[in-house]
Each structure stands twice: as structure tokens, then as C-alpha cells.
Structure 1
């Protein structure tokens, strides 16, 4: 299908009745390619250079400028990644970006475009679903996420950003350590409590071992074309179902219909098997001094920023922006007027 920016629109593909994690994805990573269209307008993505050959600065044969190249020439990245195991070639990055115009101007504009695209995705899953994004914290992960997080926070009005331990490994660790979940469902149930228990019994018979169950239901007002999926407690009755559905409907659409009958379209049960999860925490040191200083393009100007190494920093240290915190799997950019508090997660707060 066509790119649909997280919405169901004509031409965006076919609806599939199958369980998925609800994600609004955008092409916004370090390998996202910067290019110009036939009208010479600057574009970012959706094509990516990936990790191999990757950005031009990886020096592995990539010949298309990317977001990583832009961050490098603007000083947001240092000369090496993954603990010195990957040396970055800034000169080649400058040469590649120069094919699109002034390399610094192209880089600034490309980063602004990609930040707006990521901010749009956040609005899609918050504002457009009846949620106020300013009441949430933003979690920044991935190799490139912490480089852009504060720009998104300022764009949206978020006041707190969290950079977890090992942010570049965040998704892989989640895949390895997440609990197992198994789903079973039934459409148009007649007796909710009875049929929930039957589904739970079937899952237990198949899996032999279950730590706990989670109940969901797809519910709508009669006559509606779309359902809302709500989580229900371990014991349900008609009053609980209606109350839970209407709370979700009010937060999603801004209204409820007291006189309209509701119908449960599908019930779902998840059986959860817990995994043994080791405690993952940051490494701390005792050196609160920067390891260097370099010019970084922030706030449309070149600013001198202190550079720190995350693993060397003591717990509880407060770092005032502008600054850069480098670590094995990522780099965190701290803008002026933002502070970083060093803990298991780096907590970024606006002054």
C-alpha cells in the first residue's frame, strides 16, 4: 500500500483482522537517506542506507548522504561510534552532502524535516487519540533517538525525556527479555464471563503453564463501523463492560451516547508467561569532568559544548546544556535550557 502516516485512508493497503502491536512508524533513523526530488526540493526518507553499506561516513561503500552524516558534520556526533570500533569519515560525509548543496545548510534542513516528521508521529498517537502529549514523558532509544529527542520535546511541549541504559540495544533487549504472550479470541460472545473462562481454560490446556491472564474486548455502540479495544478486569458484568467502554470512548472521541446500546464484537484473552529478567543498569564512574569540547550546531548557531562519556559519570551528577553525552551504543544531545540528571536512565528536564 501507499504511505499513510498511521491513518487508514484510501490506497493505504488492506485492513487485516489480526493482532498487532499498535505502532505509528516513520522513516526516521540514522540511515535515512537525504535526497532531492525532480523539483529540487529537499526530501528525507523513506529509503534507508541501512547498516551496510550504511551512511557515507561509515566508510563502507555507502554513497548516499544520510541523517547520520548530517549529525556528524553538525558536531552532534564525534569521530567514532561503538566504543571506538567504528571510525567516522567526516570529509566523505561533507563531500556527499555537498552534492545536494551547502553541506551545513542541507544538514540543518534535513534534521529539521526529520524532527517534524517524528513529531507528527507523536501527535498521531497522542493528540489525534484524545491524549495530551505534554502530560507524558518521552523515552528516547535507538542509536539516533537521543540525538533528536529534545528537538521533538520542544516541538511538542514535553518537559521530560528519559534515555534508558544501553539505548542503542533497547529494541533487541526488549525482544529477548519480554514476557511471552499468547492470544485466543471469540467473536460475538453471548455470556462474557462464562466464555472468558472457557478461553482461559483452552489456553491453559495448550500451554500447560500460565502466570496470568489478561482480558480484552472489542466493543462499539450498535451501528458504529469501528470498535474500541478495552482491557477488562478478571471478573466482568454488563455494568463494568459499559463503564469501561464509555471511559475509553469519551477519552478517544470526546463524547458518549447514554441511550445507545453497546455490543461486544470480539473478546480476547492473553495468557502471559513471565521471563526471568536480569536487572539492567547503567555503569557509573567517578569522573564528573568532560572529556573534551567541540562546536555543535544548536539553535541555528555553532555553540561550544562539553562532551562527556556516560560510563565515566557518577550517579546523581547534573549536567547543564549545551552538552553531548557519548556512550557505546548512542549519543545524547543536550540543548541549551535543558539539564541532564545521571541515573540508571539519563533524565533530561527543561529548566
Structure 2
């Protein structure tokens, strides 16, 4: 079907705020509303009322709603999903508890592994076995499944996950098991061959468990949202942004909600990539800090880095292996619990810590005057003068400086014999250093030098901290785009209809079977394009990727290949492409070992129009400063009389010398003393170091 794209609305539910962005034929209207945990859809409806009133349109004029949410992520982190049964192959009941047996903190004698999502008493094993080549070694015990269906019904399970060994090679047993259970049960059933048809049973089993665990809750929420939108007069289609950065239908999202786990951050990465393309910036680090978390993503050649797996709810910060692995296509980023609502505290060694616990929207930071008593990062920013207590969130939330100072003094300052201002500075410095460390780790893991990138900052809290983060990282330039406070929601409006389909099939290069591979790729192309066609009838582009390795290696690298039918003579092309990619990752290729294909990927998406291109201007004319107030400057360590400039009064070419605070409805941009701000032709703020 053809969608109307002239009026598009993006809605991003975060842990603290719900962001709404409305594009009416190129004019942008936006707002932030506190997230309603009891009824998340209510915040969306409230936000829609605000932006359509500002735009002067009716709900029925909206052509499409694009939605992203952290609800699936929060359900996994907080363990608030459905009571779920796992049905697996006999002998593999404990795979999700044994994990990979990797000690992610080798020298921690008190290492605590994350609890499996499904406890042992809710995991059931049945006979039946498929081998690694997809051949049946033992028939499925169908009689046992019929008995198991009665047990699941009697024990009140809300969802079922099915994960059998080697089902990615042959899904017949999983499909038959689903048919038998569905004949006796009326609850959703997820199978790993559809949710994550990839090799490695721990990641695959965990992913299908996560999908089943959040499926009833997400299906109920998405159904309520559609009903409420229609009741308010918005009968337009609703699409969801998935973790890989594309759009899928609500029906697909309801069936595969695990694909939504990183949907909000994915929108932010798309937003940053669009800004990078607009200004011709080939190396960018995006910095997205909201009310609950901060996310950092590397973007090269206008494309965010992607991966096939990521972790939710790490128990050790920055430590791979300490979280819950989810095996789906995803925009790769590092995430830490450092948002505006993150709680500050002092540990047993007298060190200031911040997060990962968050005050969120209920009750919120102490300064919100909504019952919160513990100090949050927003409280520290307020005490340091970065925020105007009478003009926060466009004046919708009045902040209490007294509450913020009292909370910081009680929980941090008094314990360390510091004044509230000094304690607030300590809190903010710890947070900024944590984020700087996260950016360094992420860049090093990808073989990059973080200081060579331009930063793009967005999210309600990121512009408050971006300049200081640039100081710590040696980054010379930072962009704060128009609408930065609702950046992820704007990113939703720019996302393509897209889907990535994957399948694992181990095959040595010397035994390459063109017919088998072409047939598999045809199936993947049909699957990916089928999801895309649910939202558009426009032109579609495809990207073919093979994940390859040397035989005996534990992990693969992605190798981009041409979109065409392959022949036996292509083995030389495969070898050359793999070795070039391998040398890019590790410095040189290795001669001798056999090269293997492990997983194939087909990514399909519609063609999106490219926006205007601009040249980044670093010079500008100084402007008069309408007001000043005292703001703590970290570079000098003192409170300085700081320029306070409304963003909507600045024209392209204007230059504001730091220290300054550029204020707008959804956020404020703090320009520390080492930086100046130059307004670009599209209204973007460029922070550039003085003298550069």
C-alpha cells in the first residue's frame, strides 16, 4: 500500500519522557511528556494533542505514526514479563543457565552470573533430535508434547518458547511442536527458527525466551495503542521501528517484540546519521543522553555500525558476557545507566557513583517536586546553574532548587564534607567521566580513535554535558541539531521501511554449493521484502552479507557481497573479499586455513530521498547577549557569569562565545569556556574549540 508521507508523527517512549515529533510538510512540531508507566499509550495521546494543536491540524490529518519504545527492554531488565515455559531438546534443559561458561570477570571470586530469564522448573525437555546438517536423528516425541500441553495449561503459563538443537538448519521439529501445543493452548508460542535462525544455541534459546517473555505484554500494549488512536480520530497506520533501524508493521512487532528491544536508541542513531550526511561528516560519534540512559554509537560513511547480537541488563558495566544476550540484527552502540534521572550515591569506599538506578518519571529527581527524595543528575545540573528552574521542559515542570540542594547535601555532600555545589560538581564529573570511558571503550573495541570523530549530541540531557565530554575525549567539534531534545523521535520520521533476514548454514569455501546458497538467499530475500512491502510499494534496495571465518575460529566477520546469483566460479571473489575484510579488522590475512561461511544476511529497505547538503561553517559574527546568570564552569572550576541566549533568537552565522547556555523548550546547550557556538544554515549549533 502507498503511505501518505506529508504528515508523519514519531513517538518515542523513554524511561522518563515520551517524545513526540510531528512533521507537517517539512515543518517540525515537538514536545516532551512525562512517561506514564501505568498506561504508556496515554503519554503518546497527550503529546499528540499538544503538537496537533500547535500545528493547527486534526488527528485525522496524520498520515502515519512511527513508534519506538523501551517497554520491551524494561520488561526484560525488571523481569516483568509473562510466566513463560521453555520447551527444548532432551539434554539441553539447562543451556540458558550454563551460558557459555565464560568468566567475564576472571579474578572476581564472588562472581554472580545473571539469573536465567526462565527458572529451571519452567523448562521442559522432549525427545527428538536434528543434527548439525539438518538431518533427523531421532523423531519428535509427539505424545510427550500432548501431555506437556496439559501441564502448561494447568500451571497457568502465559507464553511458550520452543528452542530445539540445530533448528536453524531444519525447523521441522519446532514447527510440529508448535502445531501440537497450539492445538491445546490459547497462548502465544514463539519458535527459535523464526525469532533467531542462527547458530549458537545459548544465544538463540535466550532470544526466543525473551521474545515469548515480553510478547503478551507488548501485544496488549500495541492493541490498546491502536484502539486509543482510532478513538481520538487518528485512523492512520502505525509502524514500529526495530532495533536494526527499519520500520515494521504492528502485527510483525506483536509477533516478534524482541526486535523492538533497542528501537528507541536505533531512532537516535538514524537521526545522527542523517545529520552526518547533511554536513558531509564521514566519521561521527553520536551521543544520546535521555532521562534514564546514555547511548554512544559510531557512524562511518553515514551508516551506524551494526551487529547480530547485543546484551541487555549487564550486571558489570562495560563487561561483555555479563548480560542477557539477544541474537537479532541491531545497531551497535554502548549503553550506560547515566541519564538525567540517574541516582547519585556514595559507595562504601567514599566514592561518588551515579546510576544505573534511575528516578525515571515516577517519582523523578528531587527537583521535580513529585515525591522524589534522592539526588539525580538533573538535580546536580540545576544546582550548578545549567538549568533554569522556571523554564524546564518549556515551563511545564517547575524545578525546586531547594529540593535539589537538600537531596545532594543529605546523600552526598554531608557524607563527604562537601558543599552542595561541590558535591554537585563531583556528581556531574563522575557521570561525564563514565560516559567518556564508555566512548573510549566502544571506539577501541572497533579499532578507532575517538578524537578523530565529530560528536552529534541529542536527547534531553546530552546538550548539557556534550561540551565537557568533548573536552575529556579531545573531540574538537560537536553538533547539536534542531530538535535535539526529541532526536530519537525525529529519527523515526527518517527511518526507512526495512528488515533484515538471516540464516545460518556452515559451508567451507572449497565445498561451496551455489545452488544451495542461491535457494537460501532467495528465501531470505522473499522474507525481507515481504516485511518491507507491508509498508511501502516504492523501490527496494538489498544488501547481501556473508558472515565468514577461518575454520576453527569462534567468531565471524561480516563480508558484503554483490546482490546477484552466485556461481561456482565465485569462490575466488569470496576469498578476496574475505581476506580484504579480515585485514581491515586484524591488520593482515592468514594464509592456509580453510575459509567458512557461517551465516547469510539479506537486508531490504525502501529508497529514502536524500535531504539538503550543507557546508559546516566554523566562523560567525558575535551576537549581543540578552541575559546572564551564574553557571559553574568545569574548565575553570568556578562559577562564571554566563551568557543565557534563547536558541530561537539566533540566526545562521551567529557566534556565541563560551561560557554560555543556549536555551530551548526541550533542552539546553551548555557551551563551556573552551568552546564557541556557531549557528549553521539549518539552525544546527556547532560547538567548536576556540582558536580552531
- TM-score normalised by the chain length of structure 1: 0.88
Aligned residue number for residue 407 of structure 2: 96
Query: Residues 177 and 277 of structure 1 are in contact (CA less than 8 Å); yes or no, is this contact kept in structure 2?
Result: no
- Structure 1 residue 197, shift from structure 2 partner: 4.2
Match of 1:292 in 2: 627
How far did residue 239 of structure 1 move? 4.3
- CA-to-aligned-CA distance 1:97-147 (integer Å, 9 cap, x gap): 110212112111111111111111111221222111122111111111011
Aligned counterpart for 1:220 among listed residues 540, 543, 549: 549
**How many residues of Structure 1 are paired with residues of Structure 2 in the alignment?**
344
- The answer as to whether partners of 1:131 and 1:251 remain within 8 angstroms in 2 is no
Residues 290, 218 of structure 1: alpha-carbon distance in 2 compared, 3 angstrom cutoff:
same
Match of 1:326 in 2: 663
- Is the aligned partner of 1:27 residue 2:330? no
CA distance in 2, matches of 1:297, 1:55: 20
Q: Find the counterpart in structure 2 of residue 128 from structure 1.
A: 445
Check if 1:87 corresponds to 2:398: yes
List runs of 5+ in structure 2 lacking aligned partners. Answer: 1-113, 115-313, 414-418, 508-512, 615-621
Instruction: Confirm or deny: 8 A CA contact 2:623 2:655 kept in the other structure.
Output: no
Separation in structure 2 between the aligned mates of residue 46 and residue 197 of structure 1, nearest angstrom: 44
Contact 1:130 1:254 in 2 (8 A): no
2:320 match: secondary structure: coil
Would you say the 8 A contact 1:130–1:251 is kept in 2? no
Q: Kindly state the Cα deviation for residue 91 of structure 1 after the two structures are TM-superposed.
A: 1.3
- Secondary structure, counterpart of 1:126 in structure 2: helix
**Structure 2 SS opposite 1:165:** coil
Q: Contact 1:288–1:312 (CA<8 Å) still a contact in 2? A: no
Cα distance per residue 1:153-178 (max 9 Å; x no partner): 12111111111111110112223441
Q: How far apart are 1:94 and its partner, in Å?
A: 0.7
Which residue does the alignment assign to 1:284?
none
Structure 1 gaps of 5+ residues are 282-286
The CA distance in 2 between the partners of 1:314 and 1:30, in whole Å, is: 29
Q: Matches of 1:240 and 1:305 in 2, distance apart? A: 60
Give distance in 2, aligned partners of 1:171 and 1:270.
22
CA contact (8 A) 2:532 2:606 kept: no
Residue correspondence of structure 1 range 117-156 to structure 2 within 5 A = 117-156=434-473
Q: Which has more helix, going by share of residues?
A: 2
Structure 1 residues 47 and 277 mapped into 2: Cα distance closer, same or farther (>3 Å)? farther
Q: 1:204 to 1:335 in 2, by over 3 A?
A: closer
2: CA distance, partners of 1:293 / 1:303: 9
Give the counterpart of 1:200 among 492, 515, 525. Answer: 525
| Partner Cα distance (1:224, 1:109) in 2 | 45
- Distance in 2 (CA, whole Å) between partners of 1:257 and 1:46 is 42
Match of 1:339 among 651, 657, 676: 676
Aligned-residue offset at 1:196: 3.1
For CA contacts below 8 A with separation 6 or more, give which structure has more relative contact order. Answer: 1
Q: In 1, are the aligned partners of 2:458 and 2:485 still within 8 Å (CA)? A: yes
How far apart, CA to CA, are the structure 2 residues paired with 1:159 and 1:193? 47
Q: Given the superposition, is the C-alpha separation of residues 34 and 14 from structure 1 closer, same or farther in structure 2, using an over 3 Å criterion?
A: closer
1:54 aligns with 2:391: no
Question: Deviation of residue 259 (structure 1)?
Answer: 3.1
**Mapped contact 1:288–1:314 kept (Cα < 8 A):** no
Which one has a bigger Cα radius of gyration? 2
Task: Give the drift of 1:310.
Answer: 0.8
Say whether the 8 Å CA contact 1:5–1:121 is kept in structure 2: no
